[in-house]
Structure 1
Amino acid sequence: MGRRCRPPPAQVQRLAGQLGQVVVADSTDVEALEEIGIADFTRVVVGIGTDLEASILTTALLVDLGIPDIWVKALSGQHAKILERIGAHHVVFPEHEMGERVAHLVSGRLLDWVELDPEWVFAKTLPPRELVGVPLGESRLRKRHNVTVVSVKPETASSFTHAGLDTVLTYGAEIVIAGRPRDVERFVDLD
């Protein structure tokens, strides 16, 4: 934890039952980090909210202590560059990423959206009319829309299964498709 924002004791108590190790410490103090044995950890997540100084100092100390896998929450592009330069292994923008995901979800028939990288996504949606009743192998889906149905959950089933060339979709089915974001967005807008 950063030095300026400490969680209330009740929150620490609640998390102690859910996580393997929960402590309150000044993460910008190397002695405090050494005292809790942070150097023995193989992965550390720095999720400091708005205190840029504490986030940067904590990350630098973790790098100096030789933590092999450091994940850090960034608040801006500049913050991310600094974190990467000092040695953070993974820099994430959780608010931005969740905002993009929610924007995709509220825009139409999309049920879920997972970005593997900026140029490849998986999306859960309902099949458009043109796919209903047609075996996927005969649909020319990849050639026409540049997406692939990778999984299907029939309306009568409780879980997903692999989609094959002989899979025939129904209106109540859910499908998981993979492709480039713009192709997936166009496909989801079909009706």
Structure 2
Amino acid sequence: MAASEGNSVLVVGLGRFGSAVAQTLNDLGQDLLAVDKNPALVARWASVFNVVEADMTDMLAVEQIDASDFDRAVVAIGDSIEASVLTAGNLLDAGLTDIWAKSVSKEHTRILQRMGVRHIISAESDAGKRIGHLIAGDYLDYIEIEGPYTVVKIHTPASMVNRTVGEAHVRERYGITVIGAITPGLPFRHGDEETVMHREDELIVLGLQDQIDRFIRE
């Protein structure tokens, strides 16, 4: 089953994570094919998006669905590290280089990295970090990006109320960047030196975590 030309995605594994990825891609109009070896899962999603039953740890199955014709693949297998690694290896051997793979442990991540998998998703670890930060109460939302930087949504700190980003010397004093501001009921405002930080605003900021924490508390 060959993919059409364009932005095509192969999703392998239809557990909770994989099915959520597949549903989102389908809703976004992506050229999608999902694969799972479990006939019950295939039957469940057959009316929602394109799905076939196959065991992608078998190179013959990889060849039969023309996996090499896809632009990228998501290996969403989480119940078996062996199956995840074999599937990723088969896709790499088929010539797919843009692979996103779910990892369930540090060891799993290390193996995938050594194989040359380009994008590794530590779903449970990432979710745990995010929830921990939200529970702590300082952040309204939290995204950890590559490297040491994070993007967070926060309330305007009391010391910053009604000041512009430039007046408060936010970049110079704290090393962070105000990406934008959200005032309830108004459109998103991109951040610049003239951005006024109102009491009711939610600020989207980028920086090191200790820099952001200092900005909130000073």
TM-score range, shorter chain: 0.7 to 0.9
Does residue 12 of the first structure (1) align with residue 42 of the second (2)?
yes
For 1:128, give the aligned amino acid: P
Q: Structure 1's 83 and 135: CA in aligned 2 closer, same or farther, altered over 3 A?
A: closer
Aligned equivalent of 2:210: 182
- Give 1:172 shift: 1.0
* Alignment equivalent of 1:57, drawn from 66, 86, 90: 86
* Structure 2 gap segments, 5+ residues each: 1-11, 14-35
Does residue 170 of the first structure (1) align with residue 198 of the second (2)?
yes
Q: Which moved more, 1:36-45 or 1:143-152?
A: 143-152
Aligned equivalent of 1:46: 75
Judging by fraction of residues, say which structure has more strand: 2
Distance 1:185 1:26 in 2: 47
Aligned equivalent of 2:21: none
CA offsets, 1:99-143, max 9 Å, x none?
Answer: 111111111131111122231111111101111011221112223
Distance 1:96 1:37 in 2: 33
Q: State the Cα RMSD in Å.
A: 2.1
Distance 2:185 2:85 in 1: 51
* Structure 1 gap segments, 5+ residues each: none
Does residue 85 of the first structure (1) align with residue 109 of the second (2)?
no
Aligned equivalent of 1:151: 180
Distance 2:102 2:155 in 1: 33
Q: Structure 1's 55 and 125: CA in aligned 2 closer, same or farther, altered over 3 A?
A: same
**Length-normalised TM-score, structure 2:** 0.76
CA contact (8 A) 2:154 2:204 kept: yes
CA offsets, 1:13-42, max 9 Å, x none?
Answer: 5544554x3222111111112111212112
For 2:183, give the aligned amino acid: P
Aligned length: 185
